[in-house]
Structure 1
Amino acid sequence: MRYLKVVVQDRRQEGQADTVKLNFFQRDPDLPDELVHEAVALDRTADGAVDFQSTGDIDFDGATTLKDRRLLKNFANQALKLSWSNKGEVAARSIDLYVSRFNKAGMAVEVRTDFYQHKNSAGKDELVHSTTASDHNGAGILQPSGHDDQCELFDTVDEKAILALSKLYLEFNWH
């Protein structure tokens, strides 16, 4: 299984996220998770948009291209909108994205987004919330699987950003 771990930080501690770190992991049940690729995007001007980035081949097509840079910028700009961020250099909160269901033809039809909170230095990260975006009718369009009224962690801006992240995650071809 492959998944993307995203950490959003307010490193300047000015009340607005300014750094997005992407870690692409490969999971094998018999081995520790392997970090395969990393990418970072920074918003130095505090305007909610990426100014600098370290991309590499994030769509895993064998070449680092302008498409990779645009994909990271679009993804990071959505992640900067989330309220699920960290203050300073810590990474106590993270987001994992992965394909949780494929159709018979092997196409991704469901993307799961898990929100984790690190509770203490000795323990594992705790799953706080999870959302799913699905292709309900096979048209290749992800939609939220249902509205979660029980979760007060996210507002409408967060919900729109989460759906956009799910759609953009599929463009990474990391599933």
Structure 2
Amino acid sequence: MRYLKVIVQDRSDNELADTAKLYFFQRDPGLPDELVHEALAFDATADGAVDYQKTGDVDFSGASSLHDRRLLQAFANQALKLSWFNAGETAGRSIDLYVSRYDKNGQAVEVRSDFYQRSSTGGRDKLMYSTTACDQDGNGSLEPSGQDASFELFDTLDHQTIHALSQLFLKFNWH
């Protein structure tokens, strides 16, 4: 299984998210998770838009390209909108995105977003919230599942952002 771990931080200490770190992991049974690639995006001007980034081949096409840079920028700009971020350089909150269901043709039809909070005791990550975006009509468009609409940790902007992140995640071809 492949998944993307996203850590959003407020490293400027201005109560606005400014850094998005993306970690692309491969999980194989019986082995530790393997970090395959990482990318970084930073908003230096506190305007909610990425100013600097370390991209590489984030769409796994075999080469780093302008498409990779644009994809990372679009994803990170969305991630910076979330209220689920860390103060300073800590990494106590994270989001894991992964495909949780495929159709009979092998196309991704469900993207899961798991929100973790590091426990103060034991240092383990605790699952705080999960949401799913599904392609219910088979038309290639993900829609949020209905049961997530009333969760009190997130506002409307967060719900829209989580949905956008799910759609952009599929463009990384990391599933």
Q: TM-score, normalization: structure 1?
A: 0.98
Find out whether 1:42 has 2:45 as its counterpart: no
User: Is 2:16 the counterpart of 1:16?
Assistant: yes
Please report how far the alpha carbon of residue 147 of structure 1 lies from its aligned counterpart in structure 2 after TM superposition.
4.1
Partner in structure 1 of residue 114 of structure 2: 114
* TM, length-normalised to structure 2: 0.98
Q: CA deviation at 1:123?
A: 3.6
Structure 1: runs of 5 or more not aligned:
none
RMSD: 0.9
What is the rounded CA distance, in whole Å, between the counterparts of 1:78 and 1:147 in structure 2? Answer: 22
Q: In the aligned structure 2, how far is the partner of 1:40 from the partner of 1:62?
A: 19
Mean CA deviation greater in 118-127 or 66-75: 118-127
Deviations 1:108-148 (A, max 9, x none): 00000000000126242000000000000100000001143
Structure 1 counterpart of 2:143: 143
Taking a change above 3 Å as real, the CA distance of residues 89 and 15 of structure 1, as seen in their structure-2 partners, is same
Runs of 4+ in structure 1 deviating by more than 3 angstroms, as ranges, are none
1:124–1:51 CA distance, 2 compared to 1 (3 A): same
Where structure 2 has 5 or more consecutive residues not aligned to the other structure, the ranges are none
Work out the CA distance in 2 between the residues paired with 1:107 and 1:148: 23
Q: Distance in 1 between matches of 2:91 and 2:128?
A: 15
Q: Does 1:6 align with 2:14?
A: no
Tell me the number of residue pairs that the alignment of Structure 1 and Structure 2 aligns.
175
